Structure 1
Amino acid sequence: MKTHNNFDEKFEFTGSAKTWSLVALVAGAICIVIGFVLGGVHVERMFSNLLLMSYYMVCVCTAGVFFLAYQYAAQAGWSASLIRIPQAFAKVLPIASLILILVVTAGLFTHHEVIFEGKKQMVPYLYASWATHGLTIVGDHNYNAVIAGKAPFLTIGFFYGFLVVFLGAYSYFGYALTKCSTDEDTEGGMRNYDKSFALACTFLVIFGFTFPIFAFGTIMSLEAHWFSTMFGWYNLAAMHVSGLAIIALVIVLLKKKGNFLWLSENHLHSLGKMIFGFSIFWTYVWFAQFFLTWYANIPEESVYFFKRWEPEYKWWFWLNIVMNFLSPLLLLMSRDAKRLTNRMMWTCILLIAGHWLDYYLMIMPGTVVENRGFGVEEIGSFIAFAGLFTFLMLTALSRFKSLVPKKHPFLQESLHHHI
C-alpha cells in the first residue's frame, strides 16, 4: 500500500510465511509422534505439553475476541484500522477450541499405571487428581474426602459442559463481531456498528463471569486439592498480555513485509502502553496470590508453591518473574521505547515465551511425576502449535476482502491517530 487511502489492499498468504508455517507444523507433529513412540514418562509429558499449547492457543484467540469487545464497548477510534488482526484470531477460535477439547478428552480417557502409597493403580494422564476412579466413592480404597466435597463441580459432565458452552459462546461472539465488521463494509451506515456495540457489552459481561470458571476447570483442577480465588484473574491477565503481544508482533512483521503501512509508531505506542499496563497487572495478581499463600502458610494452600520451589522448577519460577515483569518494565517504560519497532518486536517475543513458561509452571508440576527438563515434547509441541496458529490466522486474514474496515465510523480517527 502506497498511501493509507488505498482501502482495497488484501493480504496474500504466500511465499516464505506460508512455507515456514507448514514446515513448523509438520516438524512439530513429527516431534509429537516421537514423544508418544518413546513411551513411559515421555507420553505423560506429551499430554501435558499438548494441554499447555492447546490452552495457550485458545487463550490467544480468545484475547482477540476480548480485544475487539472492549474496543467496541469503549467506542475507541485508535484501533479501527488494525482490527482485522484480532478478527483473524477470532476466526481461528472455533478450531482452537475443538483441539483443546480433543486434547483433554484424550488425556481424560487414556490411562497409565502409577504407584501411589505402595499400590499400583490406573489413572488418567490428565486430571488424575479428580478423574481417577473411586475418589468420590465412600469405602473405595481411592476415596478422598476433599475431592468428594468438590464432586458437584469436578465431574466429567460438568467439565465438558462448561468447556463446550463457554468456548462455544466465545466463538459465537467472535464470529458475530467479525461478521458485523465485514457487513459494515458492504452496507455502510451505523446499524452494524451499533450491533457490534451491543454484542461487545454482552460479551464482556458473560466473559467476566465465565473466564475464571474456565481457568479453574481447565488448569486449576489439575491439582484439585488446591484452590485460589485469584487464579482466574491471574489467567485472564496472562491471556490478555499474550494476545496483545502477538497482535503487536503480527503488526510489526506484516509491516516489514509491506502490509498495514498506515499503522504508525502511534499505534505501536498505544499497544505498548496496554502491554506494559497489563504486564504490571499480571505481576500484581501473581504477587498477591503468592504472598498471601506464603504469609498464611496453610498446608493445603502452600503445597502448590512448595512443588514449584523444588530444584527442577525453582529456577524457572523466578525466571518467570524476570521475563513477564522486569522485562516489560525495563524495556517499555519510556515513551520512546514503545515507538521503536525492533524494541517492540523483541519485547513481544520475550513475553510470548515468558507466558509459555508461565503456563508451563501452572501445568507441569501437577501433571508430570518426574521432570527431566525441556526436550522433544516441549520443543515439538511449541513448534507445531506455532506453525498451526500462524497458518490458520494468516489464512483467515487473507480471506478478508480488505485489510481496512472501510466503513468503520472511526476509521479516519484511527488513520490519523497521534499521541
Structure 2
Amino acid sequence: MATLTHHESATAEQLVVTDGARKTFITIIVAGVVLLVVGILAQVMGWGAAEHGEAAGHAAAAHGATHEEGHSVLIKRILVSLWHSNLFFLGVSAIGTVFMAINYVAYAGWSVVVKRISEALSAWVIPGGVVMLIVFFVGRHDIFHWTHDGIMDPKSEHFDAIIKGKEGFLNLPFYVIRMVSYLVIWAAFSWKLRQLSLAEDLNGGTYWFHKSITASALFLVLYAVTSSMAAWDWVMSVDTHWFSTMFGWYVFASWWVSGIAAIALTAIILKQNGYLRALNSSHIHDLGKLMFGFSIFWTYVWFAQFMLIWYANLPEEAVYYNQRLGGFEGRYTFMFFFNIAINFVFPFLALMTRDAKRQMIMMKIVCVAILCGHWSDFYLMLMPATLRGENGFLIEIGIAAIFLGAFLIVFTRRLASASLVPVNHPFLDESVHHTT
C-alpha cells in the first residue's frame, strides 16, 4: 500500500451517502418490520407452540388461558425487545466517545485516521436515550419486577422482603434521575468533543487538541462510574434478587468490543469504497489486536463470574446460571454455549495470526460475528429474567433490524457532515505514516 505524503494527508475527504446506501438502510428497516409482523402473527396464532413449548399465550386453548394473557405476553416481548436492542446500540454508540477520549488522553497518534468514525458512532446517544426513557416509562412493569405496585409494601400480598431491602437504590425517582444523568453526561461529552474536533478542523493549532484532552480526561472518569451503574440499573436490576460485583465490567466489555468492531467494520467498508486513503493495513492490524485482546478480556470476566458462582454454589447466586443452563426446558442452553463460541472461540481462532488481523475479508467477518454475538449476549442477559420461557426470535430480530437501519441512517449522516480526515489534528502525519 502506497504511503501518502504530508500534503496528501492534509486533504479533506467528504463522504457522500449514495441513494443506493439510503435504500439499503430503508430496506433493513422494512425487513425488520416484516419480521416483526410475522413474529406478532406467530405469537397471536400460536404457530410452533406445540413443538417449542411456548407458554400461556401460545397454548391458550389447551390450558384455558385468556386472550388477555396472550396479549400481555406479546406486549411484553415487544417492550423487552425494544429495551434490549436499544440498550445494545446505545452502549455501542457511547463507546465511540470512549474510544476517542482514551486516544486523546493517551496521546495516541495511530488512530487519527479513524477518529471521525468514532465521533459519528456517538450520534445515536441522544435518539437512543430518548427511546430508552420512553420504553422505560411505558413498559417498566413488563421489564423490571421491582417497579410493580406493592412489591415494597409489607402490607401487600405482593411484598418481597429482598426487593424492599434495595428500596434505597431501586426506587422510581432516584432511578430516573440516575438514568437521565448517565444519558446527559454521555450526550454532553459526545457533543463537546465533536465541536472541539470541528473547531480544530476550521482553525488549526494545538489549542483545541489540549481542550479535547481535558474534556476527555473528565469524561473517562465520569464514564467509568456511569457505565457500571448503567449496567446495574438497565441490565442487572431485571434480576432483582441476583447480583454480581463483576457485572459492570462484564457489560462494559461487551459494549467495548462491539464498539471496536463497529469502528473497524466502518473503516474497512469506507476503504473499500475509495475513502480513507490514509488507512493502511497497520491501522486495521491495530483494530484487530484490540478486538482480539478484548474478546479475551470479555471471556476472562465471563469465566471469572461464572466460576466463582459455580464454585460457591449459593442458591441465590446460582439461579442466574440455572435459568440459562437447562432452565425453562433448556430454552437458553444452546444460546449459552453459542455465546462463548461466537464471542470468544471464533474471534480467538480467526484473529490469532498477524496476517489475519491485516486482511480486510477476515476482519469484516469477525466484526460482523462480534456484533451479532454481543447482541445475543445482551439477549441472554435480559430474556430469562423478563420473558422466562416465553422468549422467541422473530420479534426480537425484527426490532433489532429496525434499530440497525435507523442507527445507520443517523451514523452515516453524522459521518458525511464533516471531512473523514481531521485535517488539522496535530498527530495526523504520525497516523498517516503509521506502521506495525
> So what's the TM-score if we normalise by structure 2?
0.89
Q: Does 2:185 match 1:169?
A: yes
Cα root mean square deviation, aligned = 1.5
Aligned partner (choices 96, 99, 112) of residue 80 of structure 1: 112
Answer yes or no: is the 8 Å Cα contact 2:331–2:389 preserved in 1: no
Cα distance in structure 2, aligned partners of 1:364 and 1:221: 13
Match of 2:9 among 5, 16, 21: 5
The 2-side partners of 1:36 and 1:100 are apart by 22
Are 1:306 and 2:322 matched, yes or no? yes
* Residue among 14, 28, 31 paired with 2:32: 28
Q: Aligned match of 2:373 in 354, 361, 373?
A: 354
| 4-13 or 308-317, larger mean C-alpha shift | 4-13
The answer for the alignment partner of 2:66 in structure 1 is none
2:22 maps to 1:18: yes
Matching of residue 240 in structure 1 with residue 259 in structure 2: no
Kindly provide the CA deviation profile for residues 116-152 of structure 1, in whole angstroms up to 9, marking residues without a partner as x: xxxxxxxx2110x201111111121111110000001
Deviation of residue 358 (structure 1)? 0.4
One-letter identity of the residue aligned with 1:232: G
Q: Structure 1 length normalisation: TM-score?
A: 0.92
Deviations 1:24-63 (A, max 9, x none): 1233245446656743433222111111100001111011
Is 1:330 the equivalent of 2:362?
A: no
Q: Give me the whole-angstrom Cα distance separating, in 1, the residues matched to 2:371 and 2:232.
A: 22
Distance 1:105 1:190 in 2: 45
- 1:264 maps to which of 255, 275, 280: 280
2:390 partner SS = coil
Shift in Å, 1:256: 1.4
Unaligned runs of 5+ in 2: 45-70
Would the aligned equivalents of 2:33 and 2:402 in 1 still touch at CA under 8 Å? yes
Contact 1:59 1:239 in 2 (8 A): yes
Partner residue, 1:278: 294
Match of 1:158 among 142, 155, 174: 174
Tell me the SS of whatever aligns to 1:228: coil
Instruction: Say whether the 8 Å CA contact 2:84–2:382 is kept in structure 1.
Output: yes
Q: Does structure 1 conserve the Cα–Cα contact (< 8 Å) formed by 2:25 and 2:408?
A: yes
Match of residue 215 from structure 1: 231
**Contact 1:279 1:325 survives alignment (8 Å):** yes
Aligned CA distance change for structure 1 residues 30 and 105 (closer, same or farther; 3 Å): farther
Structure 1's unaligned 5+ residue stretches are: 109-123
Q: Does 2:405 correspond to 1:387?
A: yes
Question: In structure 2, what is the Cα distance between the partners aligned to 1:415 and 1:5?
Answer: 6
Give per-residue Cα distances to partners, 1:178-199, cap 9 Å, x unaligned.
Answer: 1111100111111100000001
Aligned to 1:115: none
1:36–1:43 Cα contact (<8 Å) kept: no
AA partner of residue 367 (structure 1): T
- CA separation of 1:34/1:165 partners in 2, compared to 1, >3 Å: closer, same or farther? farther
Q: Distance in 2 between matches of 1:34 and 1:315?
A: 23
Whether the 8 Å contact between 1:276 and 1:332 is mirrored in structure 2 is yes
List per-residue Cα deviations over 1:167-212 (Å, max 9, x = no partner). Answer: 1101111111111111001111111000000011111111112211
Q: Structure 1: how far apart are the matches of 2:226 and 2:420?
A: 32
CA offsets 1:198-243 (integer angstroms, 9 cap, x no match): 0111111111122111110001001100000100000010000000
Q: Does the Cα contact within 8 Å between 2:10 and 2:424 map onto a contact in 1?
A: no
Aligned residue identity for 2:15: F
Cα contact 2:96–2:122 (8 A) shared by 1:
yes
**One of 121, 144, 148 as aligned partner of 1:89:** 121
CA distance in 2, matches of 1:5, 1:352: 31
**Separation (CA, whole Å) in 1 of partners of 2:151 and 2:391:** 29
Which amino acid letter does the alignment assign opposite residue 168 of structure 2? P
Alignment match of 1:57 (pick from 89, 103, 111): 89
CA distance in 2, matches of 1:7, 1:92: 28
Q: Do residues 136 (structure 1) and 136 (structure 2) align?
A: no
* CA displacement 1:331-361 (0-9 Å, x = unmatched): 1111111000000000011111110110000
What letter corresponds to residue 403 of structure 1 in structure 2?
A: L
Amino acid at match of 1:258: G
The one-letter code of the counterpart of 1:192 is W
Q: Percent identity?
A: 38
Aligned 8 A contact 2:9 2:432 in 1: no
Contact 1:180 1:192 in 2 (8 A): yes
CA–CA distance in structure 1, aligned partners of residues 382 and 412 of structure 2? 29
Which amino acid counterpart does residue 327 of structure 1 have in structure 2?
A: F
Q: Does 1:397 align with 2:397?
A: no
Deviation track 1:365-386 (CA, whole Å, cap 9, x = no partner) reads 01103335422x1221111011
* 1:378 is aligned to 2:382: no
Q: 1:106, 1:244 → 2: CA distance?
A: 32
Structure 2 CA distance for aligned equivalents of residues 105 and 54 of structure 1: 15
CA distance in 1, matches of 2:176, 2:130: 12
Equivalent AA in structure 1 for residue 243 of structure 2? F
Residue in structure 2 matched with residue 113 of structure 1 by the alignment = none
Q: Contact 1:276 / 1:329 at 8 angstroms: preserved in 2?
A: yes
